[in-house]
Structure 1
Amino acid sequence: MEDLSIQNVNLEQSENLERHHTDGFSNSEALVVRRGEPFRISLRLEGRPFNPRTDTIRIKVMLGRLYVIMPMTFSRKPSSSHWKAYIDPEGLNPQAPSIYICSPASASVGCYRFQLYVFTKNNGRSCATGKFIMLCNPWCSDDVVYIPFEDQREEYIQSDSGLLFLGTPMNVVSRPWSFDQYEPGVLETCLNLLRVSPQHKRNRKKDYLRRNNPIYIGRVVSAMINSEDDRGVLKGNWSKDFKDGVNPSMWTGSGDILQQWAQSNYSAVKYGQCWVFAAVMCTVMRVLGIPCRVVTNFNSAHDTNDNLVIEEFYSETGQKLKQGHDSIWNFHVWVECWMARSDLGPEMNGWQVLDPTPQERSGGVFCCGPAPVKAIKNRRVDMVYDTRFVYAEVNADVHKFVMSKGRVLSVNKDTERVGSLICTKAVGFPRPQNITGDYKLIKSPTSTLSSRSSSSTDNSTLRSESSRGVFVSLSLDKSPVVGEPVRFMVQVINKRRVAKSMKVHFNAQAKEYNHSPSETFWELHGIIHLAPMEVKVLEQQILPAQYEDVVGDDLINLAVVLEDTSSQERVLASEEFNIASPELIIQMDEDNTVVANNKQSAVVSFTNPFSHPVSGVLTVAGAGLMQGKLHYRMPPLRPGGRVEQCIAFTPSKVGMRMLQASLSLYNTNTNVRGFKMISVQGE
């Protein structure tokens, strides 16, 4: 009888993808599996049937030049620390035997090759080859990235869309983002990111061995998202000159960025800012199987001299000055990844801060983390990696100086401003979740907050300062909205039993989220008289026509300085805020069930809130809903005018999907956005 030989190997794609929660990667050329969980392959044999008494099977699994050889056993007992291959003797098909390969829960992430040999008693040998991609496994309790709740695994690993939060604490802006991890080529690009890293180029064997550790992977990815030290993905740009690249505000998802990087032979994509860096890193980490979420820290300190104090300088008329090296970003965005910390002890397990935005070098390169969130809360600033730097971002004190001709006229201290709100997207819901209490000891943390709430009680702000003779506070009437006046109130209290005459200086400047303000665009000066112990309220407003040129992604620094005309004593109160842009409204027929591979439609509408006509280009996208992007030119629209655009699309994937729209206006500094979550049913 003819001896047996292997005709082919069936990787049992659909069964393994479902079992390993990797269904979204079905378009990959290689089988995608997770470590610590067996996957099945089937052999199709020619010649005589397989005889387990006389025939043996061995599998050689290779990652680069590293390899392990596994003899086939009949024991199903898994091993959490060693590679194992076995045949289930029950239901054995001698002509097409099934083989189970189980990796340890600490296997390295990467693209593996395997060689499968069948040896017969007649010294015959037959060989077949194949490949598979190994990812981390948050479903496996032996994996250091194990996260025990299914809704969190769905949110932090499987969800391919989400929200980023920008703006200010009083006016949180939700920006839709498509993580795109299941889009064609994204998986391979994320693996290639590890391959083109300096660590891999320096020592491939060492890199492959260390890829079993999410701490190592996190630091490599954090460095590779920016291009400061390597062939990283994104080039940062915080100027306003983006003519040789893309304005960071125009990106809507990670897929375009990662694909452009791969297609350009790993040349840096221009340009990114903090939320873009963080969102792309979130994509890479989720692809690699490490639970990840995007986090926004409002009023984020950049403490350059490591003294946990941020110094700000104002002129005697309230203009914020470009002095000092420290800064406070109105918001800063990083990621958290979930993992055990065997290097620090189990009390530091859980969420870890990783920040790919290039700010300071860590270990000689621009990366940051993983810093345990629990260490930050407990002030363990001695811990690796970069815990002290992140602690300062959420806890530094602010010292404000009023200056004149190089002389300090007054100084005020604020211990509450930095890290005043830290949030991430809520699990399963399109809204922010307040996680400030994870980072800081606060008196009464709340679990959730509403984006763009209209409640003046929730969103009004109060910035107050006091001198020996006068107390002043500045508060906004409500969250400012484009098209409406910005109304604010200044309360002045004379704490002395003598009358006072005070010079009052109001000043408003536009600023980018991470820069010092630019020139003053609105100011007002006057004199007030205070009777002994008098409380006086000054109500002011900035009209839309006065601020429309700076609305959009810019913010506003508003300050008031009071000067005692007799003593020249000065007191300052200030606030930084954003003016909420209009939103695009996306509507679908409520009775229309959205079914995969069936044509659907939606209507995007926009109402012009500006005092002048606007025009622009509408862009619509949705991973799993449409291929590529749709573009529509919007003709000039008069003030108060409304326009609608019908959108046709055919969903290709089931599950919860995000349809997002962005309107880029030609003659304003504004990108208008909107999104709608759509549940796509199977056919």
Structure 2
Amino acid sequence: MEPLLVDIIHFYPGENAQPHNTKRFEAVNIDPPTDITTTIVRRGQPFNGVLRFNRPYDESDDTVQLVFSLGDKPQMDTQGSIFLKRDAVPDKYSWSAKILDVGDQDNTISFEISTPVNLPVGSWAVRVVTRLKSSPAREVYDFDQDLYILFNPWNPDDQTYMEDTNLLQEYVLNDIGKVWVGPIKTTRGKPWFYGQFDAVVLPAVMFMLDRAEMPFHHRGDPVKVARVISRIVNSNDDGGVLVGRWDGQYEDGTAPSEWTGSVDILAQFLEFQQEVPYGQCWVFAGVVTTVCRALGIPSRVVSNLVSAHDANSSLTVDKYYTETMEELDFDPNNPKGADSIWNYHVWNDVWMARPDLPPGYGGWQAVDATPQETSSGMFQCGPAPLEAIKQGVIGLNYDVEFMLASVNADLMRWRKDPESETGYSMVDTNNYHIGRMILTKKPFVFDPNGDEDRQDIIGEYKHNEGTASERMALMNGVRYSERAKRYYAVAANLTNDITFKLRDIDTVPIGKEFRVVVDIDNNSEEGRNIKAALTATSVFYNGVRAESVKKIEGKIFVGPSKHEEISILVKPDDYLPKLVEYCNMKISAMAIVDETKQSWADDDDFQVLKPNINIKFNEDLIIGQAATAVLSFVNPLDRPLTGCEFRLTSSGIAGRTLRLAASEAGPSQLLSVELPVQPNKIGKINFVATFKSAELKDIDGAASVEVFEG
């Protein structure tokens, strides 16, 4: 009898994709179908295939073996070798191949493959080995197409399983989202196109994991995979995806505010195989969610408003002042770097069980790909269980202490004091300042123009501020840290008979003036002489000061039981030339009372507000037919805008990202451009737009539109 030779093997990419929730991957739906197809399935769930041979399969004389392998040096965990059998019984921790049907007329066998539920994820190679039982000679056939096997959060035995599987529509299958950016009073959702189903994403993710030199046999553990993703999305250690930059100098790359989504970044990374300039926290976080959702790890983007960066593990954010209450921009006790407070900071939550920890710490885990501090010698952070952060259990893996400080550190102010043992005495401590809101996108809602889709999940990260549970969780962390204990030991009650209050500024439209005011009340029976300073500064969102906009210093006398106020007026011409990206401003006030040496300091952040881009279509959108998108907004400045450029992104149009230069716009003038678009998907599609000019940057807008059949 002649040997059994493989003519073709086929894995029904479209049919298998339906039960595996992988139908939306572009690579599965290549249109029109070509010979090159990509099969994308999830682990621990059977999928079907068919083999065609040169002659009918003879059960009594032929053996057919399928060999699945991952990586160039397959080991036990990264190889599955199975014989096709009629009576194969699937087992959730092993491979099997069951014969479903033998076609005598057309030389085919159809079969069902079952994979282990803890299988490493990635692009698996398939080989078919046939031989006659009567002969040792083997015939080998290699399948030349991609077969991706992903995490399976729909399967109760998978470590990524989410009990409320409805939520997977949001946390795995939704390809558009919102990232909340900006200071607490003016935070707004910035639309972000995740695009995890784009044909370029899975190959880029495989390249990332290889670039991080992640062992293939670790790729089945979502804890290890998420930790590696937090490291490889930044380029600090190992030529990862994005270069972080926060100084406003982006001429040799793309400014972080110009990105509309993750796909352009991952496509650039894969094509040139080098890091992409530039990212900031929400860009890192957007890419992490794309990568996790593509692999099947449920993920959400999380924004912490007023976020602490604790550089010395004291669980406090420490600000230092001279004897006359001038703020120091360094930490005299930490040569490595000063603590800082970011207006907001964005990271990710990923969902998984934690068999590596005691029971009770599964569920959402925080990971942060923005390079801030090293963990185990590399710029990576997490996964840190939200439950451990909430309870202050800092000994658990990974980086719970850093995340606890981010959302719940106390702000402590210290003034140089030669008479104090440590050289500094405490000005005040604020338990409420850090971690005011923790926002993510509400499942199943997308509001392109407003904030109906905003969800505050602060209760998942910490107990209510000021409650006994919240204080205990923080003190629980302090108890385990010798350094933190020393800082908290000094926080004694100070006697103060003057109250100071810095008035909040809520919103300032760009081009309008604002006033900084401090109210001073003397609660004593004696007059008081007070030295005070008020400053307005432009700041980067990570808390780094850019330029001083206006400052006044002076003395004021406040009579017994009297009220006074001090203020400065800041005009547009004072601040417009000094604004940096995202238009964040900080107002700071400091005071010291001559008679009692009582000192006080406070600051407040707000954002100068800019308009949104309006996206309109003058006709119904019909699949395959050209249409016109009209993008517009009014120039809010009293000067022209030059070097204008719009960028429009959607997964539902030909070309995905379109750019258009626009002519100069005069002061207070409507700037409007028309962009030709061609829809290529039926149903609801989302658009995200950004705008930049020499005078005004970081303007964006979004729209959801229905596309109809022709």
Residue 411 (structure 1) aligns with? 427
CA shift for structure 1 position 356 = 1.5
Q: Tell me if 1:193 matches 2:220.
A: no
Residue 548 (structure 2) aligns with? 520
Residue 371 (structure 1) aligns with? 384
Question: CA distance change for structure 1 residues 209 and 627 in 2, over 3 Å: closer, same or farther?
Answer: same
For residues 326 and 269 of structure 2, the distance between their equivalents in structure 1, rounded to whole angstroms, comes to 42
Q: Tell me if 1:260 matches 2:288.
A: no
Residue number among 490, 495, 510 corresponding to 2:518 in the alignment: 490
SS of aligned partner of 1:258: helix
Q: How does 1:258-337 map to 2 (within 5 A)?
A: 258-264=266-272, 266-314=273-321, 320-324=327-331, 325-337=338-350
On the 8 A contact 2:247/2:540 being kept in 1, the answer is: no
Residue 426 (structure 1) aligns with? 442
CA shift for structure 1 position 672 = 0.9
SS of aligned partner of 1:301: strand
Residue 667 (structure 1) aligns with? 695
Residue 393 (structure 2) aligns with? 380
CA shift for structure 1 position 537 = 5.7
Question: CA distance change for structure 1 residues 539 and 587 in 2, over 3 Å: closer, same or farther?
Answer: farther
For residues 18 and 394 of structure 2, the distance between their equivalents in structure 1, rounded to whole angstroms, comes to 42
Residue 628 (structure 2) aligns with? 601
Residue 177 (structure 1) aligns with? 192
On the 8 A contact 1:498/1:531 being kept in 2, the answer is: yes
Q: Tell me if 1:225 matches 2:233.
A: yes
CA shift for structure 1 position 86 = 0.7
Q: Percent identity?
A: 30
Question: CA distance change for structure 1 residues 599 and 346 in 2, over 3 Å: closer, same or farther?
Answer: farther
Q: How does 1:85-104 map to 2 (within 5 A)?
A: 85-89=97-101, 95-104=107-116
For residues 525 and 305 of structure 1, the distance between their equivalents in structure 2, rounded to whole angstroms, comes to 32
Q: Tell me if 1:677 matches 2:704.
A: yes
Question: CA distance change for structure 1 residues 641 and 318 in 2, over 3 Å: closer, same or farther?
Answer: farther
What are the Cα deviations for residues 459-511 of structure 1, in whole angstroms up to 9, with x where unaligned?
xxxxxx99612111123253333233335553322211234454543211111
Unaligned runs of 5+ in 2: 29-36, 332-337, 447-452, 468-492
For residues 358 and 683 of structure 2, the distance between their equivalents in structure 1, rounded to whole angstroms, comes to 38
Q: Tell me if 1:348 matches 2:361.
A: yes
Residue number among 136, 141, 146 corresponding to 2:161 in the alignment: 146
CA shift for structure 1 position 443 = 5.9
SS of aligned partner of 1:362: coil
Q: How does 1:116-155 map to 2 (within 5 A)?
A: 116-119=128-131, 127-130=140-143, 131-155=146-170
CA shift for structure 1 position 343 = 0.8
Q: Tell me if 1:579 matches 2:608.
A: yes
On the 8 A contact 1:87/1:98 being kept in 2, the answer is: yes
Residue 203 (structure 1) aligns with? none
SS of aligned partner of 1:363: coil
Residue 438 (structure 1) aligns with? 460
For residues 687 and 91 of structure 2, the distance between their equivalents in structure 1, rounded to whole angstroms, comes to 43
CA shift for structure 1 position 376 = 0.4
CA shift for structure 1 position 318 = 7.3
What are the Cα deviations for residues 307-343 of structure 1, in whole angstroms up to 9, with x where unaligned?
1121113568876431221111121111111100011
What are the Cα deviations for residues 608-653 of structure 1, in whole angstroms up to 9, with x where unaligned?
1112222311121212323143222222222221122223212223
The normalised TM-score by structure 2 is 0.85
Residue 162 (structure 1) aligns with? 177
On the 8 A contact 1:317/1:505 being kept in 2, the answer is: no
For residues 159 and 141 of structure 1, the distance between their equivalents in structure 2, rounded to whole angstroms, comes to 21
Residue 22 (structure 2) aligns with? 22
For residues 26 and 301 of structure 2, the distance between their equivalents in structure 1, rounded to whole angstroms, comes to 26
Residue 610 (structure 1) aligns with? 637
On the 8 A contact 1:50/1:94 being kept in 2, the answer is: no
For residues 639 and 356 of structure 1, the distance between their equivalents in structure 2, rounded to whole angstroms, comes to 40
Residue type at the aligned position of 2:93:
S
Question: CA distance change for structure 1 residues 91 and 155 in 2, over 3 Å: closer, same or farther?
Answer: farther
Q: How does 1:479-558 map to 2 (within 5 A)?
A: 479-487=507-515, 489-525=517-553, 530-536=558-564, 541-549=569-577, 550=579, 552-558=581-587
Residue type at the aligned position of 1:553:
Y
Q: Tell me if 1:624 matches 2:652.
A: yes
Residue type at the aligned position of 2:398:
Y
CA shift for structure 1 position 366 = 1.4
On the 8 A contact 1:75/1:88 being kept in 2, the answer is: no
On the 8 A contact 1:211/1:217 being kept in 2, the answer is: yes
Question: CA distance change for structure 1 residues 26 and 525 in 2, over 3 Å: closer, same or farther?
Answer: closer
On the 8 A contact 1:551/1:581 being kept in 2, the answer is: no
Question: CA distance change for structure 1 residues 119 and 150 in 2, over 3 Å: closer, same or farther?
Answer: same
For residues 444 and 16 of structure 1, the distance between their equivalents in structure 2, rounded to whole angstroms, comes to 52
Residue 390 (structure 1) aligns with? 403
CA shift for structure 1 position 303 = 1.4
Residue number among 501, 522, 541 corresponding to 1:473 in the alignment: 501
Residue type at the aligned position of 2:629:
A
Q: Tell me if 1:32 matches 2:40.
A: yes
What are the Cα deviations for residues 325-379 of structure 1, in whole angstroms up to 9, with x where unaligned?
1111121111111100011134111111111122222222211111111110011
CA shift for structure 1 position 137 = 1.0
Residue type at the aligned position of 1:600:
A
What are the Cα deviations for residues 120-156 of structure 1, in whole angstroms up to 9, with x where unaligned?
5675976543241111111212111112334421222
Q: Tell me if 1:214 matches 2:241.
A: no
On the 8 A contact 1:482/1:551 being kept in 2, the answer is: no
